[in-house]
Amino acid sequence: MSRTLSLDEARTTGAVVTIHRRTLGPDTGLLDGVVLATGVWTLVGSLADWAHADGYEVIRTEDVTKVRRLRRANQRFVERAAAGLGSWPLPRPDLAVDLTSVEDVVRSVARTSRLLAVHAEAESPGEYFPGAVGILTDEGLGLRFIDTAGRWEAAPRWFGLGEITRVSWGSRYLGAFDRFGDRPPFAPFVPSDG
């Protein structure tokens, strides 16, 4: 029996999967988790170490090249381990994420999460840009970047919407910045309704 399935099959079965996105280059990592919703963009509940719920990822659906489910024995182990750690089934996000466009994804996430991370994997493979939304237009995102010492950069970093391949939020890593980083020296972004 093949372990390859479509994103929609992964969503309807609740299978733990590894998502491949080879079109973005060899340095683009695999994504492990559970597919929660699909559209132009795909919402994935992220799993760290096959047992810990670790936030959410929204990826461009067109970048997905393969979806592989775990072997049955591995699936059962992940479910037992995650349940024992209080994270199975994976919790759904506390917000409705509009998967129509990256602008809608960012706007949805910014309504409830001060920090998010954007990935521009075609231009910057392996890099992760955590921060807060400063400006969001139909052309781009001005991200107020927070560095690895928890300090905010003075000016926003600009990302064209077409550059963004993935948006992350709710992870333990981002939670550490939110809790222990410097207080932001700017007013919070208030998203419009589009």
Ranges assigned E (strand) in the chain: 16-20, 31-37, 41-48, 52-60, 66-69, 116-119, 129-136, 140-145, 157-160, 166-169
CA gap 145, 91 in Å, rounded:
27
Tokens 């759904």 belong to 92
Pairing relation of β-strands 31-37 and 16-20? antiparallel
Per-residue pLDDT of the chain (194 residues; tens, 9 = 90+): 466 789 999 999 999 999 999 877 776 778 999 999 999 999 999 998 888 899 999 999 999 999 999 888 898 999 999 999 988 888 889 889 999 999 999 999 999 999 999 999 988 888 889 999 999 999 999 999 999 999 999 999 999 999 999 999 999 999 999 999 999 988 888 887 75
Decide: helix, strand or coil at residue 12. helix
pLDDT at residue 194 in the model: 59
CA gap 76, 50 in Å, rounded:
11
First CA to last CA distance, the chain = 45
* CA 50 centroid distance within chain: 16
pLDDT at residue 157 in the model: 96
Task: Report the half-sphere exposure of 110 (CA within 13 A, side-chain side).
Answer: 25
